[in-house]
Structure 1
Amino acid sequence: MSENDVKQIDFNEDTLNILYDTAVAIRKENHNNPDNKTIFSSLNKQKATIDAAMHIAYILTQLKDRVLVVNLDGQSVAYVEEYIHSKAKPNLFTTLKTSMFLSEAINPTECEKLDIIHVEDLPEEDLKKKFNEYNVLSKLSPLKNYYDHIFIIGPEVSNIDSYGTYLELADSAVTVISAINNNRKDLKHYLQKINLFNVKSFGILRKAD
């Protein structure tokens, strides 16, 4: 991800400042903290969620932090790859099928200090079974010893019946919503679910439509 890529993100100047402030807050919280897994999610603004996650990840790498992005939205692989150009194939469960170590699924990117894992594009029920079968949380946790930050990109909340599958992997959360077209009831319900899973919220990022 180059500097030009960052400038092309469709956020206004105020939001870009908020993204920087969020990166600094995450850095302060995660440094020397074993609970360094942050989930980025949205009700229905998936591309904006990826923009935010990758922009913040880029800022952190410029501050010399190591970041692992675990993309758990199998439908967004191509969009994430527009940032990192790793040519990585979705291989999370393919790797765990033959290995005890999720580290073997890690791929380097063109951005120094930024690595990626993509999940395969599977139906929700199949994903839920595989998360339980392979105990992804236990496989993901050891990687925190090698990275300052682990960013989890979750699928759109509105597309998933049981989002606890993703929240149980996270220690903290950044939520992206539409500044105009937003269902307050659904947002409130999701924020309550974050609290239920004892996930610390770094706040809400509003993306203009």
Structure 2
Amino acid sequence: MNENEERLMDFNEDVINKLYDTAIAIRNENHDNPNNKTLFSSVDQGMATVEAAMHIAYILTELKDKVLVVNLDSSSTEKIESYIHSKAKPNLFTTLSTSMFLSEAIQHSKYEKLDIIHVEDMAEEELMKQFSQYNVLSKLSPLKSYYNHIFLIGPEFQSMENYGPILELADSAVTVISSKKNDRHELNHYLQKINLFNVKSFGILRKAD
């Protein structure tokens, strides 16, 4: 049994089935819409968001698809690295400061079909300034030529005053919540924000507490 299969044992059967169903839904969407980029995010469940994104990415690599994970949440870097063991250094904007091509920031994981880009650790104000300066969307879109799927891991919604630049990068979204501890008002606010940016929702994944 490999490491990711062992991790899946921590999920109950219903959640595992939901992860698989979501993986297939994303796969079908990307077959019909090759430019689709999927955002994994939450109001306040950052670690559960990483777990969901990385398990779904793993499922897709098992189906022989190539996946690029673009981690836009610097607080999740260590958690993601515990899954993929790439020893990747955060280099998204460092790369764009010297190159027009985001492809130069891509780093390989221990899995043949799973690659990673991490954002550097910076305050929100500086992060927004970098998004504006480098037009990340225009740099991200060409990478779909090399990958079947691009996953974006977003920061927790509650941690940012301006989530718009994150949503502007995405075409679809998977939202992760706690099955018991979630603020319905804040969740509805976030889901309304997704709709405002015309981001297609693949639904909500509930993390068992």
Letter of the 1:137 partner, please give it.
L
Aligned to 1:7: 6
Aligned to 1:48: 48
Partners of 1:86 and 1:172 lie apart in 2 by 26
Q: Partner of 2:20: helix, strand, or coil?
A: helix
Aligned to 2:166: 166
Q: Partner of 2:19: helix, strand, or coil?
A: helix
Partners of 2:142 and 2:29 lie apart in 1 by 18
| Counterpart contact for 1:68–1:116, Cα < 8 Å | yes
Aligned to 1:196: 196
Aligned to 1:126: 126
- Between Structure 1 and Structure 2, how many residues are aligned? 208
Q: Partner of 1:8: helix, strand, or coil?
A: helix
Aligned to 1:180: 180
More off after superposition, 93-102 vs 6-15: 6-15
Aligned to 2:28: 28
**Cα displacement (A) at 1:32:** 4.7
Partners of 1:32 and 1:181 lie apart in 2 by 36
| Counterpart contact for 1:36–1:148, Cα < 8 Å | no
**Cα displacement (A) at 1:33:** 1.9
1:17 aligns with 2:17: yes
**Identity value in percent:** 70
* CA deviation string 1:141-173 (max 9, x = no partner): 100111110000001111011111100000000
| Counterpart contact for 1:40–1:176, Cα < 8 Å | yes
Aligned to 1:154: 154
Name structure 2 gaps, 5 residues minimum.
none
Aligned to 1:136: 136
| Counterpart contact for 1:178–1:206, Cα < 8 Å | yes
RMSD, matched Cα = 1.1
Q: Partner of 1:117: helix, strand, or coil?
A: strand
TM-score of the pair, normalised by structure 2: 0.97
Partners of 2:73 and 2:3 lie apart in 1 by 25
Letter of the 1:4 partner, please give it.
E
Aligned to 1:101: 101
Letter of the 2:99 partner, please give it.
S
Q: Partner of 2:82: helix, strand, or coil?
A: helix
| Counterpart contact for 2:4–2:55, Cα < 8 Å | no
Letter of the 1:190 partner, please give it.
Y
Aligned to 2:62: 62
Q: Partner of 1:174: helix, strand, or coil?
A: strand
**Cα displacement (A) at 1:8:** 1.8
Partners of 1:66 and 1:43 lie apart in 2 by 28
| Counterpart contact for 1:107–1:117, Cα < 8 Å | yes
Partners of 1:11 and 1:168 lie apart in 2 by 31
| Counterpart contact for 1:74–1:118, Cα < 8 Å | yes
Q: Partner of 2:33: helix, strand, or coil?
A: coil
Letter of the 1:95 partner, please give it.
T
Partners of 2:30 and 2:2 lie apart in 1 by 24
**Cα displacement (A) at 1:26:** 0.4
> Given the superposition, is the C-alpha separation of residues 6 and 164 from structure 1 closer, same or farther in structure 2, using an over 3 Å criterion?
farther
| Counterpart contact for 1:6–1:55, Cα < 8 Å | no
